Amino acid sequence: MFILRVHSVDSERPISIEEEESGFTYASKRAQPPLKLIQPSLKLTDRKGLIHLYRNSSHSSLPNPSSRSTTLFIVAVPNYLSSLDFIRFCDSRISQVSDILFIRNDGMEDRYSVLITFSDQSEADGFYNNLNGKKFAPSEAEVCHILYVMSVEHTEFDEVAAEAPTGFTELPTCPICLERLDPDTSGIVSTLCDHSFQCSCTSKWTYLSCQVCRLCQQQDEILNCSICGKTENVWACLVCGFVGCGRYKEGHSIRHWKETHHCYSLDLRTQQIWDYVGDSYVHRLNHSKIDGKSVEMSTSCLSHQGDCGLCECSEDTGISGAIFNSKVDSIVIEYNDLLASQLKGQRQYYESLIVEARSKQESSIAEAVEQIVVNTMQELQNKIEKCEEEKSGITEVNTKLIKEQDTWRKKVKEIEEREAALLGSKDEMITDLQEQIRDITVFIEAKKTLKKMSSDTDGIREGTVLPVPISAEPVSSVRRQKKSNRRK
């Protein structure tokens, strides 16, 4: 069961049979009968676009009653056949066709694809049985591959066309790459010869378009991964041609599958195809170790009539032994790669354990050191805070003491001034008392003297009055006045 999505920004362009007949065609080299079987209602159109082919992952691609439809898809038509030549190739089967769409891609100049719609299922089956696997020209190598298509979608957005529907996987549109896949995957029942892999006629299809087929023809060149540059175990994506290393190296091919969902990858060394979704090989051909040629995996005839007489399926030409040897070699290579991968994985696992243990040890040491540093810093911070508190207390006490010191200084000064005043008044009092005592003494002595003199009046008469010193008189007189005033 197939689904077709076409990324195109152009509209369909009608094709005129008259114009095609007047032009040069491949069939014009030889006489051709006129096209009398074409119905007037037949719609011939041409369109440019990029084709994306998808198959159902859970079902076989071989035709069966549930997968058939009235729409047929011709994978590739060589470009030397014009539209008129292709119609002549269809012969009488074109009479029941209602619509033919030619899809051309500018990036594939060697071929184009055709989408045919029938009005009846039996006519579509007859077209398929008669033309599928038939050569386009007896002298050429290209074969007509036809697929039943359940639906066709046209979109202007590349992201929509490139996104696989749920349950579907994308197939290559190159006919040779489709022939590489087994019939259950590609839907191509058989090939008439192995020209696609051994002869120079391969260049008729692949010279301009298919990147994978060009890589397969470059046997003498050393191919490397487009990401890491490794030259061993290199695989190519069948859908887009991406070249990457296998899972036993850096795994860029499997990363490409996870990113783009292109699940078919070709081993460029053995020409074997791996399906990442089915996790198995899906190639049709294997290289023989006897003569270096490619041989079919299955030697039974796949024709509807049994013995077709073309594929030499009834003869034993040593192919079975070549297939057996190829299978054994592929198993040995796969086992060796698997063993090397497991050993590498074990080494990486234990190295990761060692790194993890070292990291845990380093982290525990770092945590312990950090905890010690944090505790020490906390203790120092507590001490600093305590010292700050003590300092603030001492500062407050010092401020109080300074204030009290100023107060006591004032008090001491007042006391000193008071004492000085008291001492001054005491000295004055002592001086005053001394003067009083002296005055009293003088008075007493004068009184005594007068008393003596009263008895001797004649002595006074003959006495002499002595003058008192002027400098001492004012002080004594002032003091006496003060004393007299106090007495009063």
Residue 309 dihedral angles phi and psi, to the nearest 5° = 80, 5
Residue numbers in the chain where pLDDT is lower than 70: 17-40, 190-208, 219, 285-327, 330, 455-488
Question: Which residue bears the tokens 């011709």?
Answer: 74
What is the architecture, at CATH level 2, of domain 2-16+36-171?
A: 2-Layer Sandwich (3.30)
Q: Which two tokens stand for residue 358?
A: 């070292």
For 113-150, give one letter per residue: b (16+ CB within 10 A) or e: bbbbbbeeeebbbebbeebbbeebeeeebbbbbbbbbe
Same fold, 2-16+36-171 and 204-282: no
Which positions ≥6 away from 250 have C-beta within 8 Å?
225, 227, 228, 230
In angstroms, the Cα distances linking 146 to 52, 115, 281 are: 15, 10, 24
Structural domain spans, the chain: 2-16+36-171, 204-282
Q: Which two tokens stand for residue 148?
A: 């039943």
Compute the C-alpha angle 47/172/320, nearest 5°. Answer: 140
Contact 247, 253 (CB under 8 A): yes
Q: Is the pTM of this model over 0.75?
A: no
Residue 73 dihedral angles phi and psi, to the nearest 5° = -120, 115
Question: Which residue bears the tokens 């006074």?
Answer: 460
Helices 319-455, 473-487: crossing angle, 10 deg rounding = 90
Q: Which two tokens stand for residue 467?
A: 């003058």
In angstroms, the Cα distances linking 193 to 52, 203, 446 are: 27, 15, 181
CA distance 16 to 70: 24
Mean pLDDT taken over the chain: 77
Contact 208, 108 (CB under 8 A): yes
Q: Bridge-partner residues for 13, per DSSP?
A: 46
Q: Bridge-partner residues for 170, per DSSP?
A: 54
Q: Please give the helix or strand (H or E) that residue 114 lies within, else none.
A: strand 111-118
CA distance 71 to 4: 11
CA distance 300 to 424: 151
Q: Which two tokens stand for residue 19?
A: 């114009």
CA distance 261 to 237: 11
Q: Which two tokens stand for residue 383?
A: 């001490």
Let me know if 461 is exposed, middle or buried by CB neighbors in 10 A (0-12, 13-18, 19+). Answer: exposed
In angstroms, the Cα distances linking 187 to 44, 73, 113, 150, 456 are: 26, 12, 16, 14, 186
What region, left, alpha or beta, does residue 318 occupy, with left being phi > 0 and alpha being psi -120 to 50 degrees?
Answer: left
How confident is the model at residue 284, as a pLDDT?
74
How confident is the model at residue 354, as a pLDDT?
93
Contact 27, 84 (CB under 8 A): yes
Compute the C-alpha angle 410/416/422, nearest 5°. Answer: 135
Residue 220 dihedral angles phi and psi, to the nearest 5° = -85, -15
Q: Which 8-state DSSP code applies to residue 351?
A: H
- CATH number belonging to domain 204-282: 3.30.40.10
Contact 297, 285 (CB under 8 A): yes
